[in-house]
Amino acid sequence: MKSKLNIHFATKAIHVGQEPEQITGAVTVPLFQTSTYAQIEIGKHTGFEYARTQNPTRFAWEENIAALENGIAAYAFGSGLAAEDAVMKLLSAGDHVVCAEDMYGGTYRLFEKIYRRFGLTFSYVDMTNSGEVQKAMQSNTKMVYSESPTNPMMRLTDLTAVADIAHNHHALFVVDNTFATPYFQQPITLGADIVLHSATKYLGGHSDLISGIVITNNEDISAQLKFIQNATGAVPGAFDCWLLLRSVKTLALRMQQHERNALSIANSIENHKNVLAIHYPGLSSHSQHELAKRQMSGFGGIISIELGSYQNAQQFVKNLEIFTLAESLGGVESLICHPVSMTHGSIPKEQREKLGITDGLVRLSCGIEDTEDLINDVLNALDY
Ligand SMILES: *Cc1c(COP(=O)(O)O)cnc(C)c1O
């Protein structure tokens, strides 16, 4: 969108890439549900040839999210993991990646079970400590890969510090920004070269689609990602892009309510006798609360709590009425997840326990329901 005004997040979310359509003036970007486009004559086309390469609905979504993350371009994929897969294809056999030890389980599986076979090597470090990143850098390190906050332990990477370390080694710095969303954290502004999301989560926000997105502020990386997107073909369907355009219009409002609910619940249960530990960066008791305040403008909607045992976790989940037991997060409805048996099953047990992902840990994705109702639900469920 060309504007003389210096527009802000919520305005960009609603307008960038979404000018009224030229033929009819439709204010909503049309759903171009087509695989191909009629060409004018041999050697002459409209700029749209085939929908793996070009789709106007997808382009609108990509332009919009690029603006929200302060990037120059974005590339959409069929899932968060497909987005990560495309980013890994920037590398070649023999390259080394430094990554966070407590990433999303599927990311770990992609690296270890697929990319290791293709000749990439990985070092998993405690990214809460930038010194550990520095120590793990090798002459062949081409990428530093971080998730902040992490899933499910809500640990933070000091993005500015780690960006500096990566850049001193001419390595790319990649940040999975799924949990914070660009509403609360803009890694590119803090030094990241590439930001990616499982758009399935907050960007989609309604638990009704699977999608992924990669954003960059670097021309060269952008050209490579564009090539990879077309050459390997893991693009999303037009309808999912259309849903994402609709969803992102309310991202600012939704994130405000997700955070309000999470913070209220965290404050209400922090000192509860059955809550042995609570992980939420918005609490002043969180070990990285100061860093969170520095690099995030809000703390998001995810809280993890330690209940001490599998039995306690089981009872707590059974007692909940509004929170639904399900994988995923970031939707309007509140969900509860037991990482050990659900999302983090692919991480070896010793590794999991070292990270604090125990049998008694549950992760709450606070939705946007009435705040008081959610607090009551959680307090009632803790009463076992
Ligand atoms: C869900 C998730 C992914 C994977 O995304 P999909 O859309 O499920 O493929 C990656 N990173 C994080 C932090 C996630 O929560």
| Domain extent listing, the chain | 9-248, 252-381
193 is catalytic: no
CA angle 310, 313, 316 (to 5 degrees): 150
Set 12, 75, 95, 104: catalytic member: 104
User: What pLDDT does 1 receive?
Assistant: 56
CA 342 – ligand 1 centroid, Å: 13
User: What pLDDT does 352 receive?
Assistant: 86
Q: Which residues of 262-299 are buried (b: 16+ CB within 10 A; e: fewer)?
A: bbbbbebbbeeebbeebbbbbbeebebbebbeebbebb
Token pair of 176 as six digits: 């999975």
155 is catalytic: no
CA 218 – ligand 1 centroid, Å: 23
Per CATH, is 252-381 categorized as 3.90.1150.10? Answer: yes
User: What pLDDT does 151 receive?
Assistant: 87
Which residue, by CA, sits nearest to atom 6 of ligand 1?
Answer: 80
Q: Is 147 in the pocket of ligand 1 (CB under 6 A)?
A: yes
User: What pLDDT does 380 receive?
Assistant: 98
Alpha-carbon gap, residue 168 to 211, rounded angstroms? 33
Are 9-248 and 252-381 equal in CATH topology?
no
User: What pLDDT does 343 receive?
Assistant: 82
pLDDT in tens, the chain (384 residues): 566 788 999 999 999 999 999 999 999 999 999 999 999 999 999 999 999 999 999 999 999 999 999 999 999 999 999 999 999 999 999 999 999 998 888 999 999 999 999 999 999 999 999 999 999 999 999 999 999 999 899 999 999 999 999 999 999 999 999 999 999 999 999 999 999 999 999 999 999 999 999 999 999 999 999 999 999 999 999 999 999 999 999 999 999 999 999 999 999 999 999 999 999 999 999 999 999 999 999 999 999 999 999 999 999 999 999 999 999 999 999 999 999 999 887 778 888 888 899 999 999 999 999 999 999 999 999 999
294 is catalytic: no
Alpha-carbon gap, residue 168 to 138, rounded angstroms? 12
Note whether 367 and 299 are within 8 A (CB): no
Q: Which atom of ligand 1 is nearest to the CA of 103?
A: 13
Note whether 373 and 379 are within 8 A (CB): no
Residue 371 DSSP one-character state: H
User: What pLDDT does 54 receive?
Assistant: 98
Give how far Cα 148 sits from Cα of 10, 196, 259, 317, 360, Å. 23, 11, 16, 26, 23
Note whether 185 and 174 are within 8 A (CB): no
Structural domain 9-248, CATH architecture: 3-Layer(aba) Sandwich (3.40)
201 is catalytic: yes
User: What pLDDT does 271 receive?
Assistant: 97
For ligand 1, mutation pick of 104, 175, 209, 302 (most atoms within 8 Å of CB)? 104
User: What pLDDT does 344 receive?
Assistant: 83
For residue 257, the SS3 value is helix
